[in-house]
Protein backbone atom coordinates (compact mmCIF):
# COMPACT_ATOMS: atom_id res chain seq x y z
CA UNK A 1 0.00 0.00 0.00
CA UNK A 2 2.79 2.46 0.79
CA UNK A 3 6.51 2.93 0.39
CA UNK A 4 6.94 4.48 3.82
CA UNK A 5 9.84 3.53 6.06
CA UNK A 6 8.01 3.30 9.39
CA UNK A 7 11.16 2.07 11.09
CA UNK A 8 12.81 5.48 10.78
CA UNK A 9 14.34 6.87 13.95
CA UNK A 10 14.51 10.43 12.62
CA UNK A 11 11.44 12.45 11.79
CA UNK A 12 11.27 13.99 8.32
CA UNK A 13 12.16 17.66 7.93
CA UNK A 14 9.30 19.84 9.20
CA UNK A 15 7.97 17.13 11.53
CA UNK A 16 9.05 18.61 14.83
CA UNK A 17 8.26 17.01 18.17
CA UNK A 18 5.29 18.55 20.00
CA UNK A 19 3.89 20.20 16.88
CA UNK A 20 0.09 20.00 16.51
CA UNK A 21 -0.94 17.47 13.85
CA UNK A 22 -1.35 19.01 10.42
CA UNK A 23 -1.67 18.11 6.77
CA UNK A 24 -0.78 20.62 4.05
CA UNK A 25 -1.55 20.14 0.37
CA UNK A 26 1.41 21.54 -1.54
CA UNK A 27 0.43 20.41 -5.06
CA UNK A 28 -2.31 18.51 -6.88
CA UNK A 29 -2.10 17.13 -10.40
CA UNK A 30 -3.43 14.70 -12.97
CA UNK A 31 -0.79 12.02 -13.38
CA UNK A 32 -2.81 10.04 -15.95
CA UNK A 33 -6.27 10.46 -17.51
CA UNK A 34 -7.95 8.17 -20.03
CA UNK A 35 -11.47 8.04 -21.43
CA UNK A 36 -12.69 5.40 -23.87
CA UNK A 37 -16.04 5.48 -25.63
CA UNK A 38 -15.74 2.39 -27.87
CA UNK A 39 -19.35 2.17 -29.10
CA UNK A 40 -19.88 5.87 -29.90
CA UNK A 41 -22.11 7.18 -31.34
CA UNK A 42 -24.45 4.18 -30.86
CA UNK A 43 -23.93 4.18 -27.08
CA UNK A 44 -25.24 7.77 -26.91
CA UNK A 45 -28.73 7.06 -28.26
CA UNK A 46 -31.50 7.99 -25.80
CA UNK A 47 -34.08 5.55 -24.48
CA UNK A 48 -31.74 2.67 -23.72
CA UNK A 49 -31.46 0.75 -20.45
CA UNK A 50 -29.41 2.29 -17.66
CA UNK A 51 -25.82 1.01 -17.66
CA UNK A 52 -24.20 -1.03 -14.92
CA UNK A 53 -21.32 0.94 -13.42
CA UNK A 54 -18.27 -0.69 -11.87
CA UNK A 55 -15.95 1.53 -9.83
CA UNK A 56 -12.47 0.56 -8.69
CA UNK A 57 -10.54 2.65 -6.18
CA UNK A 58 -6.87 2.43 -5.28
CA UNK A 59 -4.74 4.60 -3.00
CA UNK A 60 -0.95 4.64 -2.86
CA UNK A 61 1.55 6.77 -0.99
CA UNK A 62 5.30 7.15 -0.89
CA UNK A 63 7.75 9.31 0.97
CA UNK A 64 10.08 11.68 -0.82
CA UNK A 65 13.68 12.62 -0.07
CA UNK A 66 12.61 16.16 0.84
CA UNK A 67 10.44 14.91 3.76
CA UNK A 68 7.17 15.36 1.86
CA UNK A 69 4.80 12.63 0.70
CA UNK A 70 3.19 11.82 -2.65
CA UNK A 71 -0.30 10.31 -2.59
CA UNK A 72 -2.10 8.88 -5.63
CA UNK A 73 -5.83 8.27 -5.90
CA UNK A 74 -6.71 5.98 -8.81
CA UNK A 75 -10.33 5.76 -9.96
CA UNK A 76 -11.54 3.51 -12.77
CA UNK A 77 -15.22 3.78 -13.74
CA UNK A 78 -16.55 1.29 -16.29
CA UNK A 79 -20.10 1.52 -17.67
CA UNK A 80 -21.57 -1.48 -19.48
CA UNK A 81 -24.95 -2.17 -21.02
CA UNK A 82 -26.21 -5.38 -22.62
CA UNK A 83 -22.78 -6.99 -22.28
CA UNK A 84 -20.93 -4.19 -24.08
CA UNK A 85 -18.70 -1.49 -22.65
CA UNK A 86 -20.13 2.01 -23.02
CA UNK A 87 -17.26 3.91 -21.47
CA UNK A 88 -14.16 3.52 -19.34
CA UNK A 89 -12.87 6.54 -17.42
CA UNK A 90 -9.53 6.09 -15.68
CA UNK A 91 -7.94 8.80 -13.56
CA UNK A 92 -4.72 8.78 -11.55
CA UNK A 93 -4.84 11.96 -9.47
CA UNK A 94 -1.92 12.87 -7.26
CA UNK A 95 -0.95 15.24 -4.53
CA UNK A 96 2.14 16.30 -2.62
CA UNK A 97 1.55 16.65 1.10
CA UNK A 98 3.47 18.03 4.04
CA UNK A 99 2.57 16.27 7.29
CA UNK A 100 3.55 17.62 10.68
CA UNK A 101 3.04 16.58 14.28
CA UNK A 102 1.99 13.02 13.42
CA UNK A 103 3.85 10.11 15.05
CA UNK A 104 5.65 7.92 12.53
CA UNK A 105 3.46 4.89 13.34
CA UNK A 106 0.34 6.92 12.41
CA UNK A 107 1.61 8.29 9.09
CA UNK A 108 0.22 5.46 6.92
CA UNK A 109 -3.45 5.97 7.93
CA UNK A 110 -3.07 9.73 7.45
CA UNK A 111 -1.65 9.21 3.97
CA UNK A 112 -4.21 6.61 2.89
CA UNK A 113 -7.32 8.01 4.58
CA UNK A 114 -7.00 11.76 5.12
CA UNK A 115 -4.98 12.67 2.02
CA UNK A 116 -7.37 10.89 -0.40
CA UNK A 117 -10.24 12.77 1.32
CA UNK A 118 -8.58 16.01 0.25
CA UNK A 119 -8.00 14.77 -3.31
CA UNK A 120 -11.41 13.16 -3.86
CA UNK A 121 -13.57 16.24 -4.62
CA UNK A 122 -11.18 17.30 -7.38
CA UNK A 123 -10.96 13.78 -8.83
CA UNK A 124 -14.78 13.53 -8.67
CA UNK A 125 -15.14 16.70 -10.72
CA UNK A 126 -12.65 15.48 -13.33
CA UNK A 127 -14.54 12.18 -13.76
CA UNK A 128 -17.85 14.07 -14.06
CA UNK A 129 -16.37 16.44 -16.65
CA UNK A 130 -14.75 13.74 -18.77
CA UNK A 131 -17.90 11.58 -18.89
CA UNK A 132 -19.96 14.65 -19.80
CA UNK A 133 -17.43 15.63 -22.49
CA UNK A 134 -17.70 12.04 -23.79
CA UNK A 135 -21.41 12.57 -24.50
CA UNK A 136 -22.86 10.92 -21.37
CA UNK A 137 -24.57 12.50 -18.38
CA UNK A 138 -21.92 13.50 -15.81
CA UNK A 139 -20.96 10.52 -13.68
CA UNK A 140 -20.99 11.90 -10.13
CA UNK A 141 -19.17 9.61 -7.74
CA UNK A 142 -20.79 9.13 -4.35
CA UNK A 143 -18.72 10.21 -1.34
CA UNK A 144 -16.31 7.47 -0.28
CA UNK A 145 -15.41 6.14 3.13
CA UNK A 146 -11.63 6.03 2.75
CA UNK A 147 -11.23 4.76 6.32
CA UNK A 148 -13.36 1.68 5.53
CA UNK A 149 -11.45 1.09 2.27
CA UNK A 150 -8.11 1.41 4.09
CA UNK A 151 -9.09 -0.95 6.92
CA UNK A 152 -10.55 -3.55 4.53
CA UNK A 153 -7.40 -3.56 2.41
CA UNK A 154 -5.17 -3.63 5.50
CA UNK A 155 -7.09 -6.64 6.85
CA UNK A 156 -6.80 -8.36 3.47
CA UNK A 157 -3.04 -7.69 3.35
CA UNK A 158 -2.58 -8.87 6.95
CA UNK A 159 -4.51 -12.06 6.16
CA UNK A 160 -2.36 -12.73 3.07
CA UNK A 161 0.83 -12.19 5.11
CA UNK A 162 -0.50 -14.57 7.78
CA UNK A 163 -1.02 -17.31 5.19
CA UNK A 164 2.44 -16.88 3.66
Burial code of 127-159, b = ≥16 C-beta within 10 A, e = fewer?
bbebbeebebeebebeebebeebbeeeeeeeee
pLDDT tens digits, one per residue of 141-150: 999 999 999 9
Close Cβ partners of 130 (under 8 Å, ≥ 6 residues apart)? 33, 35, 89, 91
Bond preceding residue 15 cis, omega within 30 of 0: no
Q: Using CA atoms, how far apart are residues 97 and 149, in angstroms rounded to an integer? A: 20
Helices (H), the chain: 107-109, 115-133, 146-163
Domain 16-163 has CATH 3.10.420.10: yes
pLDDT tens digits, one per residue of 119-135: 999 999 999 999 999 99
pTM: 0.81
Q: Using CA atoms, how far apart are residues 26 and 93, in angstroms rounded to an integer? A: 14
Q: Give yes or no for residue 4 having a pLDDT over 60.
A: no
Q: Using CA atoms, how far apart are residues 135 and 92, in angstroms rounded to an integer? A: 21
Quick one: how far is CA 20 from the chain centroid? 26
Give the model's pLDDT for residue 143.
94
Mean pLDDT in residue range 69-75: 98
When pLDDT is cut at 50, 70 and 90, the band that residue 15 belongs to is very low
Residue with the larger pLDDT of the pair 7 and 142: 142
Instruction: Output Rg (C-alpha) for the chain, integer angstroms.
Output: 19
Average pLDDT, the chain: 87
Amino acid sequence: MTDIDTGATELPEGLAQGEPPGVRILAQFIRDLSFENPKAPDSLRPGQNAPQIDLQVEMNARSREDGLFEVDLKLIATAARDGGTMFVAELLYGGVFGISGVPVEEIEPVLLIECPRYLFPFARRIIADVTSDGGFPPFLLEPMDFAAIYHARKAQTDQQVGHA
